[in-house]
């Protein structure tokens, strides 16, 4: 079997993904397709590990971590089936620059909703310079996907062969066609802004301003996580967990949007603060 390419992709694009497919066959790989057509089975990401936690036992640990880049957060988990990566995570002392190579992983609490994370194969401490080099490489790849998607939006009919004829590789051409069919009314300019911000983040003066802003955002995020956790607990009337529908209604009243709630729920699951006793219900641990 051909080893899958390790995509360099920002968290902001990866976490927007809602399309997963498998190319048939018992051992065929599955792919997460991002809105810009990155067809991801494996990825290489670099950023700051801000949190590492063992959410299981000392005898059978399950390590979960958060890796931040300038666009968002990657969620990482490794246990007994990824012993080398789990050991590497356990040795890290956040905050620390790190590179993570791993497989795309998908969690779907209900039909139509998915959360993406990374199942690591390798985790290693790196320098800030290497992180900055990865940002540049990720920006080059992001720019190519933005250009390809803009060209795809002008093509009628849109075909993989047509994109290949324009010079794009087969895997990106295939991903672009799939993304265009799945992500309707895609706003490509959103990712152009992401590209600009990622490049600006490499400038010292911009990075200092961003650090202050991130501290404020983190405080607000922690407050909302606490609110959602209390909401889940209050809606659990019969001990069987709160229904996702009721959580959505309660969050809406509290001014928390659906996409924001989904991100918070994912973080609470990753932190081991809640779990799903049955599909479509969440319960505080």
Do residues 39 and 5 touch, judged by C-beta distance below 8 A? no
At 46-97, the pLDDT tens digits run 999 988 988 888 888 889 999 999 899 999 999 888 889 999 999 998 889 9
- Mean pLDDT over the full length of the chain: 88
Distance, CA of 165 to CA of 168 (rounded, Å): 7
Contact by Cβ (8 Å): 175, 169? no
Residue 35 — very low, low, confident or very high, per pLDDT cuts 50/70/90? Answer: very high
pLDDT at 37 over 90: yes
- Cβ-proximal residues to 258 (8 Å cutoff; 6+ apart), any chain: 248, 251, 252
Higher pLDDT pick, 203 / 177: 177
pLDDT tens figures, 108-153 = 877 777 889 999 999 999 999 999 999 999 999 999 999 999 999 9
271 has a pLDDT exceeding 80: no
**Over the stretch 108-118, which tens digit does the pLDDT of each residue have?**
877 777 889 99
> In this predicted model, which residue has the larger pLDDT, 212 or 248?
248
| pLDDT value of residue 210 | 53
Task: Say if residue 264 is preceded by a cis peptide, omega within 30 of 0.
Answer: no
Q: In what order do the strands lie in the sheet with 281-284?
A: 242-243, 281-284, 274-275
The reply to whether domains 1-202 and 216-284 share a CATH topology is: no
- Specify the pLDDT at position 209: 59
What is the mean predicted confidence (pLDDT) over 203-227?
Answer: 68
Q: What residues are paired with 67 via a beta bridge? A: 49, 74
Give the pLDDT band of residue 215 (cuts 50, 70, 90): low
**How far is the C-alpha of 162 from the C-alpha of 243, rounded, in Å?**
46
- Is-contact 17 178, C-beta < 8 A? no
> Whole-angstrom Cα distance, residue 23 to residue 29?
7
The reported pLDDT for the residue numbered 96 is 92
The answer for residues whose C-beta is within 8 angstroms of residue 238's C-beta and 6 or more apart is: none
- Give me the residue spans of the domains in the chain: 1-202, 216-284
Q: How far apart (Å, rounded) are the C-alpha atoms in residues 69 and 66?
A: 10
Give the CATH class of 1-202: mainly beta
* Ranges 78-87, 200-209, 218-227, 251-260: which has the least confidence: 200-209
Question: HEC string of the chain?
Answer: CCCCCEECCCHHHHCCCCEEEECCCCCCCEEEECCCCCEECEEEEEEEEEEEEECCCCCCCCEEEEEEECCEEEEEEECCCCHHHHHHHHHCCCCEEEEEEEEEEEEEEECCEEEEEEEEEEEEECCHHHHHHHHHHHHHHHHHHHHHHHHHHHCCCCCHHHHHHCCCCHHHHHHHHHHHHHCCCCCHHHHHHHHHHHHHCCCHHHHHHHHHHHHHHHHHHHHHHHHHHHHHHHHCCCCCCEEHHHHHHHHHHCCCCHHHHHHHHHHHHHCCCEECCCCCEEEEC
Confidence of residue 216 (pLDDT cuts 50, 70, 90): low
224 vs 144, more confident:
144
- In the CATH hierarchy, which fold is given to the domain comprising 216-284? Arc Repressor Mutant, subunit A (1.10.10)
d(CA 16, CA 9): 12
pLDDT of residue 278: 81
User: Hunting for tokens 């641990």 — which residue is that?
Assistant: 285
Model confidence over 165-195: pLDDT tens digits? 999 999 999 999 999 999 998 999 999 999 9
Residue count of the chain, please give it.
285
pLDDT at residue 69, rounded to an integer: 92
Average the pLDDT over each of 78-82, 101-105, 153-157, 208-212 and give the range with the smallest value: 208-212
Arithmetic mean of pLDDT, 13-24: 90
Q: Which pLDDT belongs to residue 274?
A: 85
Dihedral angle, C-alpha 2, 34, 128, 139, nearest 10 °: 100
Which pLDDT value is given to residue 1? 43
Please state, as a whole number, how many other Cβ atoms lie within 10 Å of the Cβ of residue 223: 10
- 8 Å CB contact between 162 and 177: no
Say if residue 240's pLDDT is above 60.
Answer: yes
């Amino acid at each position: 079997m051909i080893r899958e390419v390790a995509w360099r992709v920002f968290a902001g694009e990866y976490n927007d993904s809602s399309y997963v497919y498998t190319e048939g066959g018992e051992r065929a790989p599955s792919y997460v397709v991002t809105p810009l057509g990155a067809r991801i089975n494996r990825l290489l990401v670099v950023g700051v590990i801000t949190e590492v936690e063992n959410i299981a036992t000392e005898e059978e640990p399950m390590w979960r971590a958060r890796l931040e880049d300038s666009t968002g957060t990657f969620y990482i988990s490794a246990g007994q089936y990824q012993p080398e990566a789990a050991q590497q995570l356990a040795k890290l002392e956040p905050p620390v620059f790190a590179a993570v190579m791993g497989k795309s992983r998908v969690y779907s609490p209900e039909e139509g909703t998915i959360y993406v994370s990374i199942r690591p194969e390798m985790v290693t401490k790196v320098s800030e310079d290497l992180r900055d080099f990865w940002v540049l490489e990720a920006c080059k790849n992001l720019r190519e996907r933005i250009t390809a998607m803009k060209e795809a939006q002008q093509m009628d009919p849109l075909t993989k062969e047509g994109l290949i004829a324009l010079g794009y590789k087969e895997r990106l051409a295939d991903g672009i066609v799939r993304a265009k069919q799945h992500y309707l009314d895609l706003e490509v300019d959103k990712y152009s802004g992401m590209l600009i911000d990622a490049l600006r983040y490499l400038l010292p003066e911009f990075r200092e301003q961003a650090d202050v802003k991130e501290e404020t955002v983190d405080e607000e995020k922690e407050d909302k996580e606490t609110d959602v956790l209390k909401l889940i607990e209050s809606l659990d009337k019969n001990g069987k967990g709160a229904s996702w529908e009721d959580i959505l209604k309660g969050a809406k009243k509290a001014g928390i949007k659906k996409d924001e709630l989904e991100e918070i729920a994912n973080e609470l699951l990753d932190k081991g603060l809640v779990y799903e006793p049955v599909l479509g219900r969440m319960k505080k641990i």
